[in-house]
Amino acid sequence: MDGLPNSPAARDAATLVHGFTNLAAHRRDGAKIIVSGKGVYVYDDTGRPYIEAVAGMWCTSLGFGEEELIDAAVEQMHKLPYYHTVASKSVGPAIDLAEKLASLVPIRNARIYFALSGSEANDNLVKFIRYYNNAIGRPLKKKIISRINGYHGSTLGAASMTGIPVQHRAFDLPLPGFLHTDDPHFYRNGLPGEDEAAFVARMAGNLEAMILAEGPDTVAAFIAEPVTGAGGVVIPPDGYFSAIQAVLAKYDVLFLADEVITGFGRTGRMFGCETFGIAPDTMTMAKGLSSAYQPIAALALSDEIYRGLEKGSDSIGFFAHGTTYSGHPVAAAVALRTIEIMERRGILAHVQKVSRRFVERLRGFADHPLVGEVRAVGLVGAVELVADKATRARFQPLGAVGKFVRERCEDLGVITRQISASDTIAFSPPLIITEAEIDEVFDVFGRALDDAMAVRPV
Ligand SMILES: Cc1ncc(COP(=O)(O)O)c(C=O)c1O
């Protein structure tokens, strides 16, 4: 590794364990250290600016250095830096935020529980659904169906729902009771001669066959991201979610919407469920909830599920689940201010406006010789690079061209996301991005693609 033995990168490599990283390569190559940020830009420890075209981990929706969010945290720190919400204690910011979220989510009379991360929220949800079904006398109805390539987090339950094989391998996952149905990615999984309508019917038919094979009385829920994020920014064909919801309704299977990426404006509406016509029973949210300025996640539960929890808690004696930081007042105050800023500054209208440019610029790459498919909705999108446009053949080895393009973009001052060592490059910039900044991102990406032509494997 370049640099002095006491440089931040050397000290990092000596002590810090990194997630989603090749650990040996990291020890050799070291980290890029980010020290500050403003707007859509972050700065490394040499002072170099980069446009953060994935908003960190698809999360800093209001950009970096937003003074109002900093003020919200400082004000709450002075007032009450910590108190908890267990054993019938509560704090004002958690109450205000719960009320606000309940008024926003497309779930009637929603009840809100707070967690710290998307993984924790989804993991908690698995427990809550089990508790609910036990309380209402359905002790067998416990299995959860998620989708191949879906991403729901890294804790035991959330990683079991995740449908990305590398996240199961060597972790002895998934746990029993977690099943995976089709990835609704038409470009990759459509059959020769199959149109989108037939593809959707096949997806719904396979889900129904799985529920019947398992026994409907054993299947509790189906979980999906409105747009699959970490699995490749997959946008299902028209009609997919209505066909899936019809199957779920038939067998009394809950729809759990994972809005960790799509929540809070990413698709141009407040929630992805609104963009894609989903009527969920629960919703998990994180990331954009606080513009990632504080670690906070939320679960919205239907009144019916909540009443099950209350019933179970009454018969057992109490609801024996809780954490120290659930409803943390500083995190809740920052999340509340985030939503308030979104409303006051018209962030949704801004996304609707600039996303036209974002989608148009992304689609402009469709004819590039390296590009197989362009996918985009709102301010989230991806470009899948292929070795052969006609056959859709992937590059071998998979990921080398994607890595080159990601690194080239970074050399040119734009941080993108390479999807799980593949040749798909994702974009999910802060929602405050301007049209001029969108142009800057895609001018750089275009140069990186052209440069990749010279080095691609043949
Ligand atoms: C859709 C989705 N669900 C859950 C998670 C997990 O969230 P966290 O990383 O906060 O645990 C993520 C993270 O990227 C996500 O994209």
Choosing from 60, 146, 152 the residue with most ligand 1 atoms within 8 A of its CB, the one to mutate for a pocket test is 152
Q: How far is the CA of 152 from the centre of ligand 1 (A)?
A: 5
Q: How far is the CA of 137 from the centre of ligand 1 (A)?
A: 31
Fold assignment, 69-344 = Aspartate Aminotransferase; domain 2 (3.40.640)
Q: Which atom of ligand 1 lies closest to the CA of 154?
A: 11
CA dist 424 and 392 (Å) reads 13
Q: How far is the CA of 339 from the centre of ligand 1 (A)?
A: 19
CA dist 85 and 101 (Å) reads 17
CA dist 456 and 238 (Å) reads 34
**Cβ(383)–Cβ(365) under 8 Å?**
yes
**Cβ(154)–Cβ(19) under 8 Å?**
yes
**Can you give the residue ranges of every domain in the chain?**
32-65+347-455, 69-344
* Residue 421's pLDDT band (cuts 50, 70, 90): confident
Choosing from 18, 58, 119 the residue with most ligand 1 atoms within 8 A of its CB, the one to mutate for a pocket test is 119
At 411, which helix (H) or strand (E)?
helix 400-411
> 43-66 pLDDT, tens per residue?
999 999 999 999 999 999 999 999
> 373-385 pLDDT, tens per residue?
999 999 999 999 9
CA dist 359 and 380 (Å) reads 9
**Helices first, then strands: H and E counts in the chain:** 16, 15
The owner of tokens 């089709």 is 182
> 169-220 pLDDT, tens per residue?
999 999 999 999 999 999 999 999 999 999 999 999 999 999 999 999 999 9
What is the average pLDDT across 435-452? Answer: 98
Protein residue closest via CA to atom 8 of ligand 1: 118
At 143, which helix (H) or strand (E)?
strand 143-147
> 116-134 pLDDT, tens per residue?
999 999 999 999 999 999 9
Q: Which atom of ligand 1 lies closest to the CA of 230?
A: 16
Q: Does the pLDDT value for residue 2 go beyond 70?
A: no
- Global pTM value: 0.98
User: Per CATH, is 32-65+347-455 categorized as 3.90.1150.10?
Assistant: yes
Q: How far is the CA of 368 from the centre of ligand 1 (A)?
A: 31
The pLDDT of residue 455: 76
**Cβ(83)–Cβ(89) under 8 Å?**
yes
Task: Find the residues whose C-beta lies inside 6 A of ligand 1.
Answer: 57, 117-119, 122, 151-153, 225, 229-230, 258, 260-261, 286
CA 66 vs. chain centroid, Å, equals 22
The pLDDT of residue 5: 79
Alpha-carbon torsion (143, 149, 150, 151), positive or negative = positive
Q: How far is the CA of 57 from the centre of ligand 1 (A)?
A: 9
**Cβ(208)–Cβ(259) under 8 Å?**
no
Residue ranges of E strands in 286-350: 297-301
Q: What residue spans of 136-278 are helical by DSSP H?
A: 156-161, 186-189, 196-214, 240-250, 272-276
Q: How far is the CA of 380 from the centre of ligand 1 (A)?
A: 15
Q: If DSSP codes are grouped into helix, strand and coil, which group holds residue 231? A: coil
Q: Residue 147 carries which side chain, given as an amino acid letter?
A: R
CA dist 254 and 220 (Å) reads 6
User: Percent of the chain beyond pLDDT 90?
Assistant: 96
